[in-house]
Structure 1
Amino acid sequence: MSTPDDAAITPAHDVLRSTRSDLEPIFSPRTVAVVGATEAAGSVGRTVLWNLLSSPFGGTVYPVNPGRPNVLGVKAYPTVSSLPEPVDLAVIATPAATVPGVVGECVDAGVKGAIVVSAGFKEVGPEGADLERRALEQARRGRMRIVGPNCLGVMNPTTGLNATFAAAMARPGNVAFLSQSGALCTAVLDWSFQDQVGFSAFVSIGSMLDVGWGDLIDYLGDDPRTRAIVIYMESIGDARHFLSAAREVAMSKPIIVIKAGRTAAAAAAAASHTGGLTGSDEVLDAAFRRCGVLRVETIAHIFNMAEVLAKQPRPRGPRLAILTNAGGPGVLATDSLIQFGGSLAELSPETIAELDGFLPDAWSRGNPVDILGDADPDRFARAVEVVSKDRNSDGLLVVLTPQAMTDPTRTADQLKMHAKLGHKPILASWMGGTHVAAGVDILNRSGIPTFTYPDTAARAFAAMWRYSDALRGIYETPAETEHDGERGVDRASAEEIVRAARSSGRTILNEYESKRLLAAYGIPTVETVVATDEKAAAEASGRIGYPVVLKLHSDAIAHKTDVGGVVLNLADAAAVRAAFRSIRESASKAGVPGDFRGVTVQPMVRPPDGYELIVGSSIDPQFGPVLLFGTGGSLVEVFRDRALALPPLNTTLARRMMERTRILSALKGVRGRPPVDLGALERLLVRFSQLVVEQRWIREIDINPLLASHSGLLALDARVIVHGLDARAEDLPRPAIRPYPSQYVEPFTLRDGTRTTIRPIRPEDEPLLIAFHETLSERSVYSRYFQAMKLSTRVAHDRLTRICFIDYDREMALVVSRRPTEPGRHEILAVGRLSRIHGADAAEFALLVADPYQGQGLGVELLRRLLRIARDEGLRLVTAEMLRNNRPMQRVCEALGFRLRYDPDDEVVHAEIEL
C-alpha cells in the first residue's frame, strides 16, 4: 500500500510547451504598430513601415503618426492607445527624448514587445543613459520586453517578418544571427545573398537595454528551426544570464561567437600578482570555455563553423586523417591542423595494409594519404571507405585538386554516400573555381561541408575538436569530494578573519591572517609564528627547527621582498636575531616604521623535487571573481605560464585548468623527479574556488608560492586584499556562475530514525544516481516518466549530465543522501526537482523516492522544501502533472495548498499553486 510521500510525479511538459515565450510577440507578432511612421524619403520610420508592408508576415500593420491621416496609403492613428485592436509589437522610430513616454503609452495599451530603433541613448552620454533608465522603468510596469535601442531591428525570415530598416529581407535558413552592430548586420546580409546563406532569425540587438544575449539564446534554443546560433559581440551585458543560457543550449545547438575589441589587461596591476595577470579578453575566453561557446576570429570562419557543426557530428578526439590526390595541399592542411590544436592521426597497420592492396606503389604510406594525381573517382571512394574506418582517427578531410585526369563531379558523387560516418565528421576541400563547382554543390547538398582551401578545412576541424572538448570537459563526471558542510571548512573562522581586518579599517590582511584564512578552507599552509622581538623570534625558531625564514609582519606592506622584508635559510639563533634587526631597519627605510609589527617565523621549506606554483583570484569587471593557476615564484610575471577559469570549480574543471599550463608536464614527473599528487592539487583548487565564492568581501587573493612536491602541497606565502568599509554588500561583484547553494543543505530524520541530509544535487552525484535508479521498481518508474523506461536509458551518461550538472539559477534539484554505516559512497534515497519555465516566474516540480525508503516522509518533506526554495527564488507559480491513479501524490499536493484540475478525457491530473 503506497503512502502519500512514496508516489512519483512527472514534470508538466505540456505546461512548458504551452507557455508562450515573452519574446514570441517580437518574433511572431500578429499585429505591429510603427510608432514614428512617416513618408519622408530616406527616413527610418518610412523604411520600417515599407519593409513590414512589402514582406508579408501574415499580420496587420498600423502606422502611428499624430500628424497624418495615412502613411504609404495605410490609415494612420495618432497614438498607440487609439489603435482599433491590441498590438503585439511596437517598432519605435521616434526621437530619443520621446521614447520613455512612447514606451509608457505602449505599456498602458497592453503592447507585449517593442523594438526601439532610435539612437541617442547611452552611447551619447549620461543624458542618454537616463533616457534608457526611464524607458526600462516604464516597460517593467507591464512586463513588456524591448529590443534595442540603437538597433537595426528584427527579422524572422521564416514568417516573412521584416521589422528593420535594412535594404533587403534575409533568406530563410537554419542559422540565427545576432549582432550588436547594425552596420555589420547590413554587411552580413549583403554577403549572405552572394553565398546563399539563410537565417532562422536575424537580430540587431543594439545596446541591450532589456533583451540581452541570454534572452535570445533561450528563445532560439527552443526554436525548432534554429540549428546554430551565430553572435557578433561587442559587450557581454548580463554575464550570468549569458553563461547560463549558453551552457544549456550549447549541448544541442552550437553557439559561435566573434568578439570585437580584443584588449590588454582590463585593469592595472594591483597589490597582488593576480591583479596584474587577469584581463578582460583572456577572461572572456575562459568564460566561453566554461559554457561551451566556440570563439572564432573572422566573419567568414564564423559561418563556416555554423555550417560544419550543423551538418557533421562533433569529433571525439583531435586526430584527423587527410586524404588527398596531391602532396602539397596535404602538407598545408597538416600545418594548419597542428597550429590550431588538432593532431595528425597515425594510421593503423591494418589500414595501411588494406590501402597497399589497391593504391599505386608510390602512395604516401602514411597520413596524409596521398593517393596520387591520377586518382579516379573509384580510387577516391575506395580510399575514403578504408581510411574512414581507421580506429586511430577522429575525422576525415578529403582534398581534391583538379588535374588533367581528375573528375571532380563524379568523385563528389561517389563521395556523397560517405556523408555520414557515425561519430566522425567528414570535410572536403575541392580546390579550384568553376571546374569543381558542380562537385562542390553535390557535396554541400549531401551534407559534406566544403572549403576552397585545405588549410581552412583543417582549421575548421581543429575548431570542432576544441568545441567538442570544451563540452566534454563541462559535463565530464568529476571525482567525488567531501560534501558541503562536512570536514575541512570552517566558514565562521574565515568570515571572522575578514571581518576583523575590515573593522580595523584595513584592506590588506597580513601574512599570518592570510594563512589562517587558507587553513579555514583546508588548504595546507606552512607553520607560521608571529614574533614581536628578537628574543621571541629566536625562541620560535628553536621550536620550529632550523633552518628558518623570517618575514616582515605588517598590515600595510603587500610585497615584503620589495622592501627587504624576507630573509631565507637562517641556520641558528644569532642569524635569526641579525635578520630581525635587518628587517626592522628595512621597514624603517621604506618609510613605514610605525607599521613594523615584528616578523613571522617559518620553517625553511625547499624540497629538491618541489615546484613553485601560483593560485589566485581577482575581480573582472564583467565576470566577477576569476581564478588563476600557473607557474609561481618571484618571476611569475616573466614566465606568464597561467590559465584562467571561472569559479566555482569541481575536480574535472580544476584538471582542465591545469592542463592549459606548461608547468603541468613537470608536475607529472620529469627527469627522474617523482610526480606531484595531481588529485590533491585538483582538490586544493576546488577548495580555493569555494573560498573565493563564499567569502565575497575578498577582492584579490593569491598563494605565491604554493610549493608542490611529491611529499605534498604547502602554501608558503599568501596575500589577501578585501573590499574597504565604503563597499556595500549589495554592490559586491557576484560570480558569473552561481555557486553551490549551501543555504539549502539541511539535515532530516526519517520516520525510522535514519539521519539524512537534504541538499542540492552536485555533478559528483552521477554514480550515486546510477545506484539510486537500480533500486526503483517498475511501478515507481512508470509513475515518474508516464512510461516504462529501461535502466540503461535512465542511467546513460548523456542523460544524467542533464540531471546532475544543473544551473542553480534555472533549476534546483534536491537529493536526500545518507552516509553508509560501512565505509563507502554516500547513498541517495530520493530526488526532487524544480525547473523554471522560460519567460515566466513559474516552475514545475518532480519527485522520485527509492522504493526501499518509501513511507518515510521523504516525498512530503522534499515538496515542502521545494516550495520554500521557489519562494526564495522569487517564483510565483509551481505546477506539476501526475497520473490520475496516483491518489497519494494528489493528497500530498492538496495538503500543501495545490489546486488540482481533472480532465475526464485525460489520464493526467494538473496541479498548481500560487506562491
Structure 2
Amino acid sequence: MHPLKPATDRAHDVLHAERSSLDAIFQPRSIAVVGATEAPNSVGRTLLWNLIGNPFGGTVYPVNPKRSSVLGIRAYPTVADLPEKVDLAVVVTPAPAVPGVIGQCADAGVKAAIVISAGFKEMGPDGAALERQVLAEARRGRMRLIGPNCLGVMNPLTGLNATFAAGMARPGNVAFLSQSGALLTAILDWSQKELVGFSGFVSTGSMLDVGWGDLIDYFGSDPRTQSILIYMESIGDARAFLSAAREVALSKPIIVIKAGRTEQAAKAAASHTGSLTGSDEVLNAAFRRSGVLRVQNIADLFYMAEVLAKQPRPRGPRLTIVTNAGGPGVLATDALIEAGGQLAPLADTTITAFNELLPPHWSHNNPVDILGDAGPDRYAKALEIAAADPNSDGMLVILTPQDMTDATLTAEALKKHAKIEGKPVLASWMGGPTTQAGVAILNTAGIPTFDFPDTAARAFHYMWRYTYHLRGLYETPMLDDETDHLDRATADAVISGASAAGITLLDEFDSKRLLSAYGIPTVRTAVARTHDEALTAAASIGYPVVLKLYSKTITHKSDVDGVRLNLQNADAVLSAFDGIEAAVRQKSGPGHFQGVTVQSMVKTIDGYELIVGSSIDPQFGPVLLFGTGGTLVEVFKDRALGLPPLNATLARRMMEQTRILTALKGVRGRKPIDLLALEQLLVRFGQLVIEQPWIKEIDINPLVASPDGLVALDARVVLHHNSTPPDRLPRPAIRPYPRQYASPWTMKDGTPVVIRPIRPEDEPLLVRFHQTLSDRSVQLRYFHAMKLSARTAHDRLTRVCFNDYDREIALVAERSDVETGLREILGVARLSKVPHSSEGEFALLISDQWQNRGLGRELLSRILRIARDEKLGRVTADIMRENTEMQRVCEKVGFTLTADLEEGVVRAAIQL
C-alpha cells in the first residue's frame, strides 16, 4: 500500500474551487445591469455609470424593457435577450420584481447576482416572503447572491465598481466587509483622504445567500489580501462564520467591530446561567474561539490591520515604554493597564545598562523616561536596551517635540530596529508639522505610528489578545482519556425517561445521576417522601446531613426556604422535613412538595463555591459558563463563557478569564485546588452538553472546589419539551468530535486497531508516525521530497490535527502495544469538502511497516461512508502515475481512474 497526495497540502486547489464560485461576483467577464436607467440621481443610472466609468476588463449590458439604449449603450428587454451568457447580474428593480428577475437569470445560466434593491425582510412578513422566493430561484439556478438591500461590491484591483457609491476605492491589500452601506461610503470617502487601499470592498446587505463564512473563505484564499476587516450587525450562519474564521485567522488577521448590544439571550430564563449569559458576551466568546480580533471603534479596525501587517505578534502581554516626557508615558500606561495589559518589569541587567547610558535622573523604571534632551543616538540605544530585556514583549517609543528634539533624525536612527523577532515596535510621534517627516520615515520602515500614546498602548494590547486567542486554538492540549469511558447509557436513560414522561425539569436525584454518568463528582443523595424515609436515609448516609426540597416544579430551592444544613441528629431531620414542607405550602402551595433529598453535609470551609452551567443562545446554540458560584452569583458576575466542545487548553482559557482562578491557585496560606481536575471536569461537562441535545439549561451551583477535590452539591437540569422535533433542537456552533465514526477493526494479520477521527491531542503521535515513513512514501504522499522536520513542525501539525469537522475529517488507525501500552498511529485518511459544492477530496497515508495488510482499503471505505453521510455526491483524488498499488485499492472500492497526461497524474473519482 502506498500513499497519495493529500488534500491538506493541495489547499490552493480546494480554495481555487471555492473562489471560483464567487469569482463571478468579484472577477466577472460580463455584467447585466437589470434596472439600468438614465433617470438623474437614480441608483440604476449611478450603478451603470460606475461600471462603465471604471473599466474592469469585461462587458456591461443594460437591461431595461422600456429603452433601446441607456447612457448610449444598447439595452435589452430581459436577461434572456442578451447576446451572451453573463457571469453577473446587478439587480436594481423594485423588490416585487426581483424574484422574477432572478428566475430569468437562473434560466439564462447567470452565475451570480448582486441585489441592490431594498424592500425585503426589513419591511416585515411580506418582504421576508419575497426573500424566500428570491432564494428559491437562486438555488434553482445554482447562483450565488449578494444582498438584497446592499450597496454593492468593488474589486479595486481589477477596477470593478458594482456599487452606487460616489467614487472608487484605491487598490490595496485590505478586504473591507460591511453590513452597513452608509458606513461603507463613509469609509470610502475617508480612505481617499488617508490613501488607504483595498483588495475588496463589499456591502453584504441581508446576506440571503453569501454570508460572512463565504467572504472570509474567499478573501482568505486571495494572495493579494493581507487582512479582513468586518463591520458586523448580525452574525448570520454562526457555524459557517466560525468554521471559516478558524481556518483563515491563523494566516490572516480577521478584525471585527460589532455594532449594538443585544438583549440578554436568556433574559426570561429561570436558571442562573441563563440570567448571566448575554448574547454580546457569547459573541465575544465565539470570537475568542475562532481567533477573531474584536475592536471597539472604527479607527482601530484600520490601526490593527496596519500594525499586524507590519510587526510581529508579541509573545506576551508586557510592554516597555520609552519616552522623552513623563506625562505621555503615564497616559500610555493607564491605557495599557485599563485594557488588561502589563508593563514589563525591567531586569537588573537592563537597569544597569540604562544607568550607563542615561543621565542620573532618568525614571529608573518602566516607563523609561530618557528625558527631554534625548537625541537620536540616545533614543536608538535606549530602544536597543529595552528590546534585549527578557521581560519585555514589545516596545512603544514616544516622542514629544521639545526644543532639543529632532523628530526626523530620531526616526532615521530607529529604522534599523524596525524588525525585532517576536517583539513589535510601535511609535507615537506627537505633535504637528514638525514631526510629520519622522512619521513618514517610521511608517516606511515598517514601524506603525500613532498620534497619541494611549492609542498605541491599546493597539499593543490588541496584538497580544490576538496572539493569545490564536495560541489557545492551536496549543496541543492534554488528552483526557476519561471522556472515552463515560457512562453514556445511564445518561441517555435519564434523559429519555424524563422526556417520555413529559418532564422538563429533572429532579435533583436524576440531575446528579446525569452528572455522575459524565464523571462529575456528586454527593451521595437519597430521595425521601416521608419522615421515616428521611430518617432511614440520614442514618445510612451518616450525620451531619443536608435536607433539600424535592420538587418537580420549583426551580430554585432557596426561593422557598427549601434547604436545611448541618443536621446533626434524627430530631433535626424531622424538624427540617416539616419546616421545608410548611414553607413550600405557604409560598407555593401543597402540590409543589414531593418530599426532600437527603445528602451528606460537605464542609466548605476550605473550599470555594463555583458555578458551571450551560444555556442556549439563539445564534450560537449551547454556551458554557464557568465562574464564582453560590447564592450571590448574579451579584458578583465573575464568569467566563465558552462554546462547546472543550479540550483541556480551552477549559483552562475559560478559567483564566475569571478572578476566582487566583484564589483557586492558593492564597494566604490556603492550599491550591487541583486545577487539572477542574479542567477535565469542564471538558466532560462540555461533552455532556454536546451529547445530550435535549438539555435546554443546566446549572451546577455550587460546585465546591477544595484541596480535597471537587464535588457538585446541587444541580438543576431543564429539558426541551418532548414535542420539539429532533431536527429543531439547537445545534452547537462548532461541530463536535464525531464519535460515531470511531470503532475497532482487525487487520489481515490479526492486529487489532481502533479507527477514529483525529483529535488535537494526537500531535505527538503524528510526530512518531512521520518518523516511520520511508522517502518513497513521502514522495508519493506529497508529490515531492519533504524533510521530517518540515512534516513534524508544530505549526503544520496543528493544522493537520485541529480538524473543523464541518470542512474536513481525518481518520487515524491507532494501535496499542500489548507489552508497553504505548499508542501509535499506523495510518491517516482525510476527506476534505470542496466548499460550495457536493464534492470532496480524499488523501491516504499508511506507515511503511503496516502497508499491504488491508488497512488502506478499510480507511478509504470508511471515508466513503462519511462522504455519503455528509451528502456528498462525488469524491476525487489525484494519484501519482507510478503509485499503482494505490490505484488498485481505489478500483477495488469503486473508483474510476483517468490518466491526465498533461498533469502527469491519475485522477480517481467515484459517484456516490
Q: TM-score, normalised by structure 1?
A: 0.97
| More off after superposition, 580-589 vs 152-161 | 580-589
Does residue 643 (structure 1) correspond to residue 640 (structure 2)? The answer is yes
Counterpart residue number, 1:146: 145
Q: Which residue of 2 aligns with 1:122?
A: 121
Tell me the CA shift for residue 778 of structure 1. Answer: 1.9
Q: Once structures 1 and 2 are overlaid, which stretch shifts more, 568-577 or 366-375?
A: 366-375
The reply to whether residue 763 of structure 1 matches residue 734 of structure 2 is no
User: What one-letter code is carried by the residue in structure 2 that aligns with 1:565?
Assistant: G
Please provide the CA RMSD for this pair.
1.5
Q: What displacement does 1:595 show?
A: 3.8
Would you say the 8 A contact 1:704–1:717 is kept in 2? yes
Structure 1 residue 30: deviation in Å? 0.4
Task: Give yes or no for contact 1:25–1:112 (8 Å, CA) kept in 2.
Answer: yes
Work out the CA distance in 2 between the residues paired with 1:608 and 1:568.
14
1:596 corresponds in structure 2 to: 593
1:433 shift after superposition: 1.1
Q: In structure 2, the residue corresponding to 1:357 is in which secondary structure?
A: helix
Give CA-to-partner distance per residue, 1:587-621, whole Å, 9 cap, x none.
Answer: 32234423432211100011421111110000011
* Match of residue 218 from structure 2: 219
SS, match of residue 44 in structure 2:
helix
SS in 1 for 2:20: coil
Partner of 2:743: 746
Per the TM alignment, residue 214 of structure 1 is displaced from its structure 2 partner at its CA by: 0.5
SS of equivalent to 1:451: coil
In 2, Cα distance between equivalents of 1:725 and 1:261: 35
Match of 2:522 among 521, 525, 530: 525
Q: Which moved more, 1:852-861 or 1:658-667?
A: 852-861
| Deviations 1:94-130 (CA, angstroms, capped at 9, x unpaired) | 0000001100100100111100000000001000000
Partner of 1:699: 696
State the Cα distance separating 1:364 from its structure 2 match: 2.5
> For structure 1, which segment, 152-161 or 366-375, has the greater mean C-alpha deviation from structure 2 after superposition?
366-375
**Structure 1 position 10 matched with structure 2 position 36:** no
- Aligned pairs for 1:795-806 (under 5 A) are 795-806=792-803
Question: Is there any run of 5+ residues in structure 2 with no aligned partner, and where?
Answer: none
Specify the alignment match of 1:49 in structure 2.
Answer: 48
The Cα shift of 1:825 comes to: 4.5
> Partners in 1 of 2:756 and 2:94 — Cα distance?
53
Alignment partner for residue 672 of structure 1, among 669, 673, 694?
669
Q: Is the 8 A contact 1:21 1:839 kept in 2?
A: no
Structure 2 letter corresponding to 1:16: V
Written as runs of structure 1 = structure 2, the 5 A alignment for 1:675-686 is 675-686=672-683
Deviation, structure 1 residue 241: 0.3
Determine the structure 2 residue equivalent to 1:170. Answer: 169
Aligned to 2:459: 460
Q: Is the 8 A contact 1:10 1:882 kept in 2?
A: no
Within 5 A, what are the aligned runs for 1:275-354?
275-354=274-353
**Does the residue aligned with 1:242 lie in a helix, a strand or coil?**
helix
SS state at 1:814 partner: strand
Matches of 1:895 and 1:659 in 2, distance apart?
52
Are 1:841 and 2:838 counterparts? Answer: yes
Over residues 695-736 of structure 1, what are the superposed CA-to-partner deviations in whole Å (9 max), with x where a residue is unaligned? 101100010111111111111110000011231111111101
- Once the two structures are superposed, the pairs formed by residues 396-545 of structure 1 within 5 Å of their partners are 396-482=395-481, 486-487=484-485, 489-545=486-542
CA deviation profile, 1:861-910 (whole Å, cap 9, x unmatched): 11111111111112222221222211100111122222222234554322
Query: Identity rate of aligned residues, in percent?
Result: 67
1:713 aligns with 2:710: yes
Question: Following the alignment from structure 1 to structure 2, what is the Cα–Cα distance between the partners of residues 591 and 262?
Answer: 36
Is contact 2:4-2:878 (8 Å) kept? no
- Secondary structure of the residue aligned to 1:653 is helix
Aligned residue type for 1:356:
N
Shift of residue 823, structure 1, vs aligned partner: 5.5
SS at match of 1:58: coil
Alpha-carbon shift at residue 573 of structure 1 (Å)? 1.2
Give the whole-Å Cα distance in 2 for the aligned partners of 1:14 and 1:534: 72
606-615 or 346-355: which moved more?
346-355
AA of the residue aligned to 2:351: I
**Aligned equivalents of 1:823, 1:530: Cα separation in 2:** 46
Other-structure match for 1:853: 850
CA distance in 2 between partners of 1:6 and 1:154 (Å): 47
Match of 2:616 among 619, 623, 627: 619
Provide the rounded CA distance (Å) in 1 between the counterparts of 2:501 and 2:579.
28
SS across alignment from 2:625: strand
Offset at residue 552 of structure 1 (A): 1.5
Aligned length: 909
What does residue 360 of structure 1 align with? 359
Distance in 1 between residues matched to 2:662 and 2:386, nearest whole Å: 32
**Aligned equivalents of 1:537, 1:468: Cα separation in 2:** 56
Moved more, 440-449 or 583-592: 583-592
Deviation at 1:418, TM superposition (A): 1.8
CA contact (8 A) 2:26 2:154 kept: yes
Residue of structure 1 in register with 2:880 after alignment: 883
Moved more, 169-178 or 328-337: 328-337
Structure 2 contact 322–369 (Cα < 8 Å) conserved? yes
Report the secondary structure of 2:305's partner residue: helix
Give the alignment's TM-score, normalised by structure 2.
Answer: 0.98
Match of 1:561 among 558, 562, 566: 558
Kindly indicate whether the alpha-carbon contact (under 8 Å) linking 1:10 and 1:786 is maintained by their aligned counterparts in 2.
no
Q: CA deviation at 1:7?
A: 3.7
Secondary structure in 2 aligned to 1:23? helix
1:151-230 aligned at under 5 Å gives the runs 151-230=150-229
Shift of 1:585: 2.2
Displacement after TM superposition at 1:410 (Å): 1.8
Q: Distance in 1 between matches of 2:278 and 2:347?
A: 44
Q: Look up the match of 2:658.
A: 661
Q: Deviations over 1:24-58 (max 9, x none)?
A: 10000000000000000011000100000101101
Q: Matches of 1:906 and 1:160 in 2, distance apart?
A: 33
Rounded to whole Å, the distance in 2 between the matches of 1:179 and 1:165 is: 15
Residues 176-231 of structure 1, C-alpha deviations (whole Å, 9 max, x = no match): 11000111111111111111111110001001111110110000000111101110
TM-superposed deviation, 1:522: 1.2
Deviation at 1:756, TM superposition (A): 1.4
Give the equivalent residue in structure 1 for 2:136.
137
Instruction: Give the conservation status (yes or no) of the 8 Å contact 2:15–2:221.
Output: no
Which AA in structure 2 matches 1:222?
A: S
Alpha-carbon displacement from aligned partner over 1:469-525 (angstroms, at most 9, x marks no partner): 0100111111111176x32x1222212211221222221111011111111111111
CA displacement at 1:9 relative to structure 2:
3.9
Q: CA deviation at 1:421?
A: 0.9
Q: Please tell me the residue identity of whatever aligns with 1:378.
A: D
- Partner of 1:897: helix, strand, or coil? coil
